Amino acid sequence: MKRAIFPGSFDPITLGHYDIIKRGIPLFDEIIVAIGENSKKTYMFSVEQRKRFIEEAFKDDVQVRVMTYKGLTVDFCKDVDADFILRGLRNPADFEFEKAIAHTNRDLAPIETVFLLTSASTSYISSSIVREVIQNNGDYTKLVPASVRI
């Protein structure tokens, strides 16, 4: 079975994340959207809310599962028997950052990272932009799946 994890904080999930997951479904038998928990980070949404947003967004996609984890991503990959990490790239800076992480992960475990370029229509969206729009009472609904609309 080709199982990939798509790790992130998803605070909140954006249409960019949604697009990468949807486009990854044909490539893998299963995608685990892995919500990383970091006690040193302050989140806008609780882990339960973030998990619910993602589960609702993919309720009709049986190949998508949502889990939370703490610690190293490669250790989580081993725990769930995943051989692939799925990542989205928005720009050249993302590539440089993600390349270093992918090389490190491959040094730590036999994990391949698969990169998908974001769609042009979502390449500008980030969770931090969405949080800023929400905090300033802007219309964030064009940036997130319907499940995030609070």
Is the overall model pTM greater than 0.85, yes or no? yes
Say if CB 66 and CB 56 are below 8 A apart.
Answer: no
Q: CB-based burial of residue 128 (10 Å sphere; 0-12 exposed, 13-18 middle, 19+ buried)? A: exposed
Which one-letter amino acid corresponds to residue 125?
A: I
Which band of pLDDT confidence, cut at 50, 70 and 90, is reported for residue 149? confident
Q: What pLDDT score does 104 carry?
A: 93
Confidence check: pLDDT of 142 > 90: yes
pLDDT at residue 150 is higher than 80 = no
Active site residues per annotation: 17, 41, 90, 127
The whole-number pLDDT of residue 40 equals 81
The residue written with tokens 């609070």 in the block is 150
When pLDDT is averaged across residues 111-139 and rounded to a whole number, the result is 95
- Return the C-alpha torsion angle 115, 52, 75, 119, nearest 10: 0
Domains and CATH numbers, the chain: 3-148 (3.40.50.620)
Are the beta carbons of 66 and 32 closer than 8 angstroms?
Answer: yes
Q: Find out whether 148 and 53 touch, Cβ atoms under 8 Å.
A: yes
Q: What is the 3-state secondary structure (H, E, C) of 85-135?
A: EEEEECCHHHHHHHHHHHHHHHHHCCCEEEEEECCCCCCCCCHHHHHHHHH
Cα distances (Å, whole numbers) of residue 72 to 47, 77, 147: 17, 9, 28
